[in-house]
Amino acid sequence: MAAFQQHVTSCDPDNMAPCEYCQCLYKFYQLDDHSRYCRNISEQQRQQAFLDFILPKLKYPFTPVQVRFYIEQQRQNRRVLDPHEIVDTLAAFEDKFPFEQYHYRTTCQQVVQITQRWFVWCNTERGNYWRVRAQQDATYRAQLDEYERQLAANTQRNEELQRRYNELKADEAFKAQNCRLCPHCKRVTQHMGGCSSMVCGRNYHGGDQQSGCGNNFNWDQAEPYIPITNRPLEQIKNDLPRLENKQRVVHTGIRCDGCHNDVEGILFSCIHCPSLIYCEKCEQRCTLAHSEELRQQKKQQHVFQLITTPEVLHIRQRR
């Protein structure tokens, strides 16, 4: 007992240890209570609580999606997640997010709508599309049969897409609560404290240079950010390819990475890969394979943009 008392006296109470559930650092005398709490909540609740702790402390307005991505990178590298260290590290990055580009060939504002369309396509509209196409053209019967054979795989992918879509909606809700639009260029801005005088793209008194138009405005008078995820389902469906349109577009010079032919009909372009394109006949098989590859790598599901007009695709033609 005397030896134990000597140990308690000499033990540094500021020593920290990671929670076995959330991997966050806690002082030894706090760890048991926290671990009991952490054990009884869901993984999603743990991640959200961790995120809620970090976001208000960030020096620069990184989005929840970016912070989640950074945290996931640390998890994959088996790093202990110290929220204070994460805040300090992200501050050192200034306004330049240091990891892989989140999306290609589209803006952050467009990502929301593209994700919505991809989610609705995968969830319900792919099957509807192939049923109508099979009635219009018997050669599409094979795609419909393949769709029906892959229902289980599609269901699993859709569940993962649902989680990603929920994260996107949470990101939009965060921006609706914390961001407003520059009245000059409509850039999404965040007020980090101080007076209401703002300069789009940098601190009002200089420094922290970011992309923006550079015009002055008053935060209190700025237009609030309206979440794009509030769009009705029917409106999203109206953005998808029209089933009554029997004429298929030929994307001349753009080769499908599945069959290596010129893309006909809907072109599916992955917005998270530098260049990954499928035609409508290869889309389900190839995107499911892509999803499985991402799943094996423990990465988030990628989103594909549905393109029906060749002019929309701003990439190099490939032969």
Question: 66-108 pLDDT, tens per residue?
Answer: 777 777 767 656 666 677 778 777 777 655 555 554 677 777 7
What is the average pLDDT across 60-66? Answer: 69
Same domain assignment for residues 167 and 243: yes
**Percentage above 70 pLDDT, the chain:** 74
Residue 147 and residue 243 in one domain: yes
At 270 the pLDDT is: 92
Helix 151-178 vs helix 108-120: crossing angle, to nearest 10: 150
For residue 212, give Cα distances in angstroms to 193, 194, 200, 201, 209.
Answer: 19, 20, 5, 4, 9
Within a domain: residue 99?
A: no
pLDDT of the residue at 103: 75
Does residue 203 lie within any of the structural domains? no
Q: Is residue 265 part of a domain?
A: yes
The mean pLDDT of 205-211, rounded to a whole number, is 62
Which pLDDT score is estimated for 208?
59
The answer to whether position 43 is within a domain reads yes
Does residue 274 form part of some domain?
Answer: yes
Q: What pLDDT is stored for residue 71 in this prediction? A: 76
What mean pLDDT do residues 220-228 have? Answer: 86
Residue 184: inside a domain = no
* 30-39, 64-73, 191-200, 219-228: range with lowest mean pLDDT: 64-73
Does an H or E element contain 90, and which? helix 83-92
Q: Are residues 56 and 119 in the same domain?
A: no
- pLDDT averaged over every residue in the chain: 77
Count of the separate structural domains present in the chain: 2
Is residue 20 predicted with pLDDT exceeding 80? no
pLDDT of residue 243: 60
Q: Is 262 exposed, middle or buried (0-12, 13-18, 19+ CB in 10 A)?
A: middle
pLDDT at 279: 92
Give the residue, 160 or 221, on which the prediction is more confident: 221
What is the rounded CA–CA span in Å between residue 124 and residue 68?
28
**b/e code 36-64 from CB counts within 10 Å (16+ = b):** eebeeeeeeebebebbeebbeebebbbbb
What is the reported pLDDT for 256?
92
45 and 135 within one domain: no
pLDDT of residue 11: 44
My answer on whether 166 and 137 are in the same domain is yes
Rounded Cα–Cα distance for residues 172 and 182 (Å): 17
Looking at the fold, whether 155 and 241 belong to one and the same domain comes out as yes
Check whether residue 270 and residue 294 sit in a common domain: yes
CB 50 within 8 A of CB 81: yes
| Distance between CA atoms of residues 124 and 39, nearest Å | 36
CB 271 within 8 A of CB 111: yes
Read off the tokens for 78: 């088996």
234 and 88 in a common domain: no
- Residues 157, 304, single domain; the answer is yes
Q: Give the structural domain span for 50.
A: 13-92
Q: How many residues does the chain have?
A: 319
143-189: pLDDT as tens digits: 888 888 888 888 888 888 888 788 778 888 888 888 899 998 888 88
Query: Would you call 164 helix, strand, or coil by DSSP?
Result: helix
What Rg value do the Cα atoms of the chain yield, rounded?
24
Residue whose token pair is 């599609």: 154
142 in a structural domain: yes
> Where is the domain boundary, 43, 61, 92?
92
Instruction: State pTM to two decimals.
Output: 0.59
pLDDT tens digits for range 227-284: 876 666 666 766 676 665 556 788 888 889 999 999 988 899 999 887 889 999 899 9
pLDDT-derived band at 27 (thresholds 50, 70, 90) equals: confident
Is 194 inside any structural domain?
Answer: no
Q: Identify whether residues 43 and 113 lie together within a single domain.
A: no
Same domain, 150 and 256: yes
Say which residue, 98 or 139, is predicted with more confidence: 139
If asked whether residues 243 and 280 sit together in one domain, one would say yes
